């Protein structure tokens, strides 16, 4: 059975390109264009992985979505992808304790992303999740 990825972004081109790459890699993909739409999906089902842009309806929408998703499903891997550094000059790194304390995500990937990097991160988190649940 294919793992399900919830992909959230306001950029339709990014969603379509990333969706196709994930489908080609064998994943089932659910898509949302807003935090609100993603929250609705999360209230009805539990994807195996959440991949979300930070900049959604609000500048911190992705951070809020990650927090909400982790509250609902603490074991679900959350990967944030974003142009926030490019747009704002603010740098986020989950290796810095001060960022990791409030960013409820398992990985942060700056856009433009390399799809291989995203797919590798998804595989790594799914394998780790499978080992801890076995």
pLDDT by residue (tens digit) across 63-95? 899 999 999 999 999 999 987 555 555 555 556
Nearby residues of 128 by Cβ (< 8 Å), 6 or more positions away: 77
126: CATH = 3.40.50.2300
Question: If 0-12 CB within 10 Å is exposed, 13-18 middle and 19+ buried, where does residue 118 land?
Answer: buried
- pLDDT at site 98: 60
Question: If 0-12 CB within 10 Å is exposed, 13-18 middle and 19+ buried, where does residue 21 land?
Answer: middle
Residue range of the domain that includes 110: 4-133
- pLDDT at site 111: 86
Higher pLDDT, 17 or 134: 17
- pLDDT at site 9: 97
Domain count, the chain: 1
- pLDDT at site 55: 87
The structure's pTM equals: 0.86
Q: Residue 73: which H helix or E strand, with range? A: none
Q: Note the pLDDT tens digit of each residue in 2-55.
A: 999 999 999 999 999 999 999 999 999 999 999 999 999 999 999 999 999 988
**Which phi and psi angles does 61 have, rounded to 5°?**
-55, -40
Quick one: DSSP state of residue 113? P
For residue 105, the SS3 value is coil
Banded model confidence at residue 109, pLDDT cuts 50, 70, 90:
confident
- pLDDT at site 25: 96
């Amino acid at each position: 059975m294919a793992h399900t990825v919830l992909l959230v972004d306001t950029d339709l081109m990014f969603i379509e390109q990333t969706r196709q790459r994930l489908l080609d890699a064998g994943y089932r993909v659910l898509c949302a264009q807003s935090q609100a739409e993603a929250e609705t999906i999360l209230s009805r089902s539990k994807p195996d992985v959440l991949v979300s842009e930070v900049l959604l309806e609000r500048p911190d929408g992705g951070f809020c979505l990650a927090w909400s998703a982790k509250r609902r499903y603490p074991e679900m891997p959350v990967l944030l992808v974003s142009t926030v550094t490019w747009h704002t000059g603010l740098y986020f790194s989950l290796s810095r304790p001060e960022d990791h304390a409030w960013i409820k995500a398992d990985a942060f990937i700056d856009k433009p992303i390399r799809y291989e990097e995203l797919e590798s991160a998804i595989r790594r988190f799914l394998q780790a999740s499978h080992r801890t649940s076995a």
